[in-house]
A and B are shown apart, each in its own frame.
Chain A
Amino acid sequence: MLGQGDADASDCMNDILAQVATKTESNKNAGNAILYECVETIMSIEDNGGLRVLAINILGRFLSNRDNNIRYVALNMLMKAMTVDAQAVQRHRATILECVKDSDASIRKRALELLYLLVNENNVKPLTKELIEYLEVSDQEFKGDLTAKICSIVEKFSPEKFWYIDQMLKVLSEAGNFVKDEVWHALIVVISNASDLHGYTVRALYRAFQTSAEQETLVRVAVWCIGEYGDLLVNNVGMLNIEEPVTVTESDAVDVVEVAIKRHTSDLTTKAMALVALLKLSSRFPSCSERIRDIIVQHKGSLVLELQQRSIEFNSIFEKHQNIRSALVERMPVLDEATFSGRRAGSVPGAVSTSSGASLNLPNGVAKPAAAPIADLLDLSSDDAPAPSSSGGDFLQDLLGIDLLPTPAATGASQTPKAAADVLLDLLSIGTPTTGQSNLSTADILSSSQDNKILLANLDGLSSPSLSAQAALPATSAPVLDLLDGFAPSPKKQEVNGTAYPSIVAYESSSLKIAFNFAKSPGNPQTTLIQATFTNLSPNVYTDFLFQAAVPKFLQLHLDPASSNSLPATGNGSITQSLSVTNSQHGKKSLIMRIRIAYKINGKDVLEEGQINNFPREL
């Protein structure tokens, strides 16, 4: 452009432009074309107040022209004019709003984009109101676009939380299916932060659910809120002045969640969230506990792994862990908005730390892909407790999916040793045990001569859900999960009477036999010294023989080095290894151990695993 940046040239042009702009008649298309070019020139040359006003006026005339082409062109031009003179464009806001409802798709799109640029704090409320009204009547392809725009407008310019939540609820009821995931995640963050509005929110959601339950995201948000704030709903806590009282009984609330689960159109995320919400409700509404349990049990046999896992875990919480249930499902810690939006801006699934922090995700019982590890656990510079200060864009998803604190935490292991354990994991360079390797890696940890109780805590946490998820052992998931619960005072094995500490055949297969001999250390009844003897039952020599063992967290294990690592064939010799086990639940729980033996036959690796349940009771 000649005049761009050059004041002199622009001056010369001014006269000509002014003349052309005023003299051209615009009833012919040629005339309009000339005017359009004029306006474009005026916009790009040096600032001249009078000409600019002239240009904006021309554009205003274009906007009200009946010809679609002219209006389209005008909208386009106005978008560029926004950078130059926003005030003038504001004047035409009403006309632009009309254009959003035009029958022509391209005009609608352009007008919507222009409106989006026009929004500021003053006009956001009436504009949003108009847009939402239009959302109801707009057609499907446009809805997606419109929804996205409304959501971002509401998010950026909302003057107060109450209005934000209100608008979002309306949008969700209308077009929930078009709402993107991060939008409703952000909504939940805001809801949890607006503590005085919890009651209002949950009641509004309840009402909305009655009317428009086919919008998937609305169902999700409703289910989450009812789970969190169910007691506020039932007791009509925190009523705002404008609300009408609504009586909701506990079973009504459970009804809502039940409908969400049972509906065949609900997808996996919704059902999973509903299961978690049911667990929360069971603790908040003790009277409905049985009914809730029935619902949960129905999913025990679900073909979808996530649902099956959750329902089995929750059911076991019902049966065996009544005492910790209420601690587990306390109110969510408030998610910090600032960090959330910061993370959201900077997070990318690729920014995953692929360290073994991913493995520690598993205790939370969420088999979510590595996209969002609670990687802060590995951030040893921060001393925060891991759970709320997780990183990654999808951390909210994790938290929503699991509001169970990691089971080791619930049973008392502190969080900072967990960080220390992470270092240990790193040092021992355990690879990311994303799937079935977790058992093997944990066995690795313990076979080394580390006497770290926290590692055992890790094992426990890891073993419980990961076992149920991966079923690495040749057993079905339910009994494997019961490994944790099997340590409860109902041992599966027979009572062993007779001599104090009989030796047992710990493990026997076609190729290997392991025998354990026991002795108690004199001053310490809790500690048992075990002498393990390995015998080779096959005609091949085993080289690089390695024995590893893993124990649950109430036991401590110490392994001495083996006598040798080569096992001659057919019982011609044996390897002995000493272990010492300290039982902190001596007398209440008996010993139990999982073992893994690795050796080589002619250079080929062989691996055997097993579980030893037949320890004598008194140990």
Chain B
Amino acid sequence: MAPVHPNLRAALHHLPVHLPIPVPRQFGRAGKRHMSEKNSLVILVVTPGCDQFPSLESVENYTLTVNDEQCFLLSETVWGALRGLETFSQLVWRSPEGTFYINKTEIEDFPRFPHRGLLLDTSRHYLPLASILDTLDVMAYNKFNVFHWHLVDDSSFPYESFTFPNLTKKGSYNPATHIYTAQDVKKVIEYARLRGIRVLAEFDTPGHTLSWGPGVPGLLTPCYSGSHPSGTFGPVNPALNNTYEFMSTFFLEISSVFPDFYLHLGGDEVDFTCWKSNPDIQAFMKKKGFGEDFKKLESFYIQTLLDIVSAYGKGYVVWQEVFDNKVKVQPDTVIQIWREEMPVRYTKEMELVTSAGFRALLSAPWYLNHITYGPDWKNIYMVEPLAFEGSPEQKALVIGGEACMWGEYVDSTNLVPRLWPRAGAVAERLWSNKMLTNLDFAYKRLAHFRCELLRRGVQAQPLSVGYCDVEFEQT
């Protein structure tokens, strides 16, 4: 085995690869058992790239060969090697006496979709750094490769900005304890990278921005009650030059802090009532010839923002409203589809987005924060991302999907059991062959995997009645 690179060394730690691994094999007539001991897994990576960041284009293929002669993991890139190591760790089993075994195996594997993400919301509830890092660990066990970090929103602004420190000082729940410092952010990005996970940072505007207001006076639109300000605020004010100067500076910081090519710029649920009430905005609308159509104003804002971000050499992902409201976006924009029924059923939305030539990410049926009684993992699992009307070219534009764990009712007390093993159903749907739809087969493996998660110290909740050999115990 070549010197073990930090990427790979980190992935090896929970895995007894250095212990002798007998491979049981039966000779024909004599029935004599011949144990072949494996004392190393040889890894061969074809293309260098250990110190790089994973990207949407990363090749995650690998093959795994375990037989008498060899114990060999071959991959194109280090990212594939990470995926292969996870699979390898899942193949090792123990007999009742305690002996570690691995069966003769031939695996050829690669993901169905390149973007397999998980969204966490750290604005509605602050999540301690440890919770985020732990989540990245379990994402790796499930071969998730994108951490969509919805950092800020109406409720709080925990991201520590160095160009606008007041954003955090005035916008966080508690600027001493409920923040992510620059160091914290670096830690997340590197921890993710070592697991082949991209960090897709989202700074959602112009809506969902109430917490930005206290730190940047004049940024948000003052709502009016008749001819007087009501005292409340609405979305970012698109009518002021200052707004775009601010966004320019702010997103320069964001572009430099987050290395992934893509940034998520939000653009969802913009409430027009406040804009409508504001006389300055009414005047602006008139000047621009937008009439009464506030979608045009929203368009104007977002287009300007997208141009700013493009100039920094970034690509972007936006929520579907940006597409629905006919904002003019660059052709390589990724549209994230999250609305189940409105304005159309999400399958129809997939059709519309891809027929317009945009790449799509599916999230609508995978809102894991929407809990219900019973084994809802089955519904999650049975979603077929490409089950919409469209040509093969259109279907090719679906680059993957994301399970979303919005934070209104979630924090570190219930995040882990609510995420796992349910998110595992999304993980398989995005990685594995589309033919894999047998629920009994899935149940057997997912139930076993849940017990394995427990063994690895993950507080994953039960799928249904039953038990694991070692149950979870609070430390």
Partners in one complex: no
Give A residues with C-beta under 8 Å from B.
Answer: none
